[in-house]
Amino acid sequence: MQIRRFGEKEREDNGRFRAWLRRHSFVERRLKAITQDIEDKIDCTACANCCRVATTQVTDKDSEKLAKFLGAKLGDFLRDYTVETEDEGRILKRNENGCVFLEGNLCSVYEARPHTCELFPHLVKGTGSLLSRLWHMPDRAVYCPIVYNTLEAWKVETGYKK
């Protein structure tokens, strides 16, 4: 996977960029516009790396929505499709392909997918400040072409020197 090679190569630099950005001013609206442009050009249905690689946290609201969508009782849904973890709380179960709801490259519960999936990769949309969300980005750039290309474009936009 080429994105993995690129992302690994830039991982350290992406960490430095994240720290650099905290100390410099930038126009958040402009950075988000750059990311939106990148998102518009990338076909997530040809990728689905996030659904394969990342774990997916589910809130109570997500679980209720998914259970309803699947026509299941909440308790049955929680038992069959989720697992409680120490680090991350309740997450969707996974199999050898990644998320339990991934079919090929597509999400089989797309209309009712968890809120975090709707916001992913948490660059244009997300909770908390843009800077606080950057914490995960060097790791995400290893598998997500949107994140990798965004960080590279932001480096150019902000005048960051490698």
Q: Is 145 in the site for ligand SF4 (CB under 6 A)?
A: yes
20-27 LR contacts (CB < 8 Å, sep 24+): 20/160, 21/131, 21/134, 21/154, 21/158, 21/160, 22/131, 24/158, 24/160, 26/154, 26/157, 26/158
> Considering only 6-14, 43-51, 74-82, 122-130, which stretch makes contact with ligand SF4 by CB under 6 A?
43-51
Interface with ligand SF4 (CB under 6 A), residue from 143, 151, 154, 155: 143
Give the nearest distance from C-beta 131 to ligand SF4 in angstroms: 20
How far apart are the C-alpha atoms of 87 and 153, rounded to whole Å?
32
CB nearer ligand SF4, residue 113 or residue 155: 113
Q: Is 113 in the site for ligand SF4 (CB under 6 A)?
A: yes
Residue 108's Cα: distance from chain center in Å?
A: 18
Q: Is 137 in the site for ligand SF4 (CB under 6 A)?
A: no
Q: Is 153 in the site for ligand SF4 (CB under 6 A)?
A: no
Interface with ligand SF4 (CB under 6 A), residue from 47, 70, 72, 130: 47
Provide the phi-psi class of 126: left if phi over 0, else alpha when psi is between -120 and 50, else beta.
Answer: left
CB nearer ligand SF4, residue 21 or residue 99: 99
CB nearer ligand SF4, residue 20 or residue 105: 105
Those residues with Cβ within 8 angstroms of residue 36's Cβ, 6 or more apart along the chain or in another chain: 124
Q: Which residues bind ligand SF4 (CB under 6 A)?
A: 42, 44, 47-51, 56, 92, 99, 101-102, 107, 109, 113-114, 117, 120-121, 143-146
